[in-house]
Amino acid sequence: MTSPINRRDSLKSLAALGAAGTLGGWSALAGAQAKPLTVGVIYVGARDDYGYNQAHAMAAAEVKKLPGVKVVEEENVPETAAVQKTMAGMISQDGAKLLFPTSFGYFDPHILAVAPKNPDVRFSHCGGLWTEGKHPKNAGSFFGYIDECQFLNGVIAAHMTKSNKIAFVAAKPIPQVLRNINAFTLGARSVKPGITCSVIFTGDWSMAVKEAEATNSLADQGCDVFTMHVDGPKVVVETAAKRGKMVCGYHASQAKLAPNAYLTGAEWNWLTAYKTAIEAAQSGKPHPNFLRGGLKEGYVKMSAYGPMVPDAAKKQADEIKAKMIAGTFDIFKDGIKDNKGAVVVPAGKVLKQTDLELEKMNYLVEGVIGSA
């Protein structure tokens, strides 16, 4: 089986030899123009986790269809020296010029170690807080204001709940997670102020057993609409559906896993950020160091409504969504108290999505049962 390849190879090299004599300079030029941009995508978990990594893999799959782009991927890369090697390997072995290391923990110290050594390679990190003057110019971070979608999840949840108790299964009490819990609760309470949201932290990003236990325990407490912020929402969605409860998804659509329980969901739309970075790399523009966006910019999107969601709920959610897209709706504003009674957003104050104060959130709002 090796012989035909060899023959083909030698034919190729013969042809190349012939061409080199006549069209040497010319073909080299053409080669340079046709050379695709190699993009490396690195995932911390499995590409088909129905969650965080799948959301990125879906964007990568779309990127593969773009002209002049070649994609190399690696999944299950831990946040250790292994990811530094993967990045260096993508650069030296695959010729990648743009990398998307997608896990939060890849940034510090790993991208910060590899980026300065490879000044001609661009690093687009998901989730981090790239800071001017502190971090390398060829690195950058992108993220989406997915709390907007969690707010809309909350609005739908409020219409669907019968017990007025909704639930949130969360990984760790860090700012990004707290912001989602708060947005979900504020969304629900904007419809029915009496709603409470019970939260359980599992302690880490992928803890299938604890996620199932948390879901069951919350269901036992009478919660009937669930959402979550863990890497793979599959377990929570399936467990809640099995208990006859409803769910709002997260990261990617989990509608397939529980078509009769899935109300709607908060999804990433990473293609927007990916395309921005790729276009800059292809045209030689400076690397976009700091990319953020919400529904308006197309960084996040909502899953399609499930068939059980009534029109009144859809209408209210869609109205708020339209306002968010128009830029006339703010989630964190006007006298928000935390669940211990302290005022965290004073009356009259409005925190825009871009406000860095929101990226440091360390409280749970009134109506959340649980502690950060």
Partner 1 sequence: MRHALKEFALPVFAIAAALLLFGVLVAFAGVDPVEVWATLFKGAFGDWFSWQNTLQRAAPLMLTALCVALPARAGLIVIGGEGALVLGGLAAAALAHAVPLPGNMAGTAMVCLAGALAGALWIVLAGWLRQYRGINETISSLLLAYIAIGIFKHLVEGPLRDPASLNKPSTYALDAGMLIGGIGGSDVHWGFVIGVVACLGLGWWLRATASGFSVRVVGGNPRTAQLVGLPATRLILGACGLGGACAGLAGAVEVAAVHTNANASLIAGYGYAGILVSFIARHNPVAIVPVAILFGGFGAAGSLLQRRLGLPDASVLVLQGIAFVLILASEGLRMVDWKALGRGAFPKSAKSPKATAAAAPAAEAVQ
Kindly tell me which of 87 and 186 has the beta carbon lying closer to partner 1.
87
CB 349 to partner 1: min, Å:
21
Q: Which amino acid is at 66?
A: L
Kindly tell me which of 59 and 191 has the beta carbon lying closer to partner 1.
59
Kindly tell me which of 73 and 213 has the beta carbon lying closer to partner 1.
73
CB 210 to partner 1: min, Å:
12
Three-state secondary structure along 212-267? Answer: HHHHHHHHHCCCCEEEEECCCCHHHHHHHHHCCCEEEEEECCCHHHCCCCEEEEEE
CB 184 to partner 1: min, Å:
18
The residues that bridge with 264 in the sheet, in sequence order, are 248
| Ramachandran angles phi, psi of 252, nearest 5° | -135, 180
Q: Which amino acid is at 10?
A: S
Kindly tell me which of 361 and 368 has the beta carbon lying closer to partner 1.
361
Tell me the CA distances in angstroms from 187 to 50, 152, 218, one per residue in order: 24, 6, 20
Which contacts qualify for 203-210: CB closer than 8 Å, 24 or more apart?
203/171, 203/172, 204/171, 204/172, 205/52, 205/171, 205/172, 205/230, 205/231, 206/45, 206/230, 206/231, 206/232, 207/171, 208/232, 208/235
CB 168 to partner 1: min, Å:
17
CB 318 to partner 1: min, Å:
31
* Residue 113 near residue 101, CB atoms below 8 Å: no
CB 289 to partner 1: min, Å:
18
Kindly tell me which of 65 and 162 has the beta carbon lying closer to partner 1.
65
CB 217 to partner 1: min, Å:
19
Q: Which amino acid is at 25?
A: G
- Helix/strand/coil for 286: coil
CA angle 274, 324, 359 (to 5 degrees): 65
Alpha helices by DSSP H, 96-146: 112-114
Kindly tell me which of 150 and 196 has the beta carbon lying closer to partner 1.
150
Distance in angstroms (rounded) separating the CA atoms of residues 148 and 156: 13
CB 182 to partner 1: min, Å:
15
CB 232 to partner 1: min, Å:
15
Q: Which positions lie near partner 1, rule CB under 8 A?
A: 2, 40, 46-47, 72-82, 84-86, 88-90, 92-94, 104-105, 108-109, 127, 129, 172-176, 203-204, 359-360
* Residue 335 near residue 345, CB atoms below 8 Å: yes
Tell me the CA distances in angstroms from 151 to 12, 18, 78, 190, 316, one per residue in order: 59, 65, 32, 9, 12
Kindly tell me which of 105 and 298 has the beta carbon lying closer to partner 1.
105
Kindly tell me which of 35 and 323 has the beta carbon lying closer to partner 1.
35
Tell me the CA distances in angstroms from 314 to 307, 317, 335, one per residue in order: 11, 5, 27
Kindly tell me which of 204 and 319 has the beta carbon lying closer to partner 1.
204
Kindly tell me which of 6 and 328 has the beta carbon lying closer to partner 1.
6
CB 1 to partner 1: min, Å:
8
Residue with tokens 């269809």: 65
Cα dihedral 145, 146, 148, 151, rounded to 10, equals -150
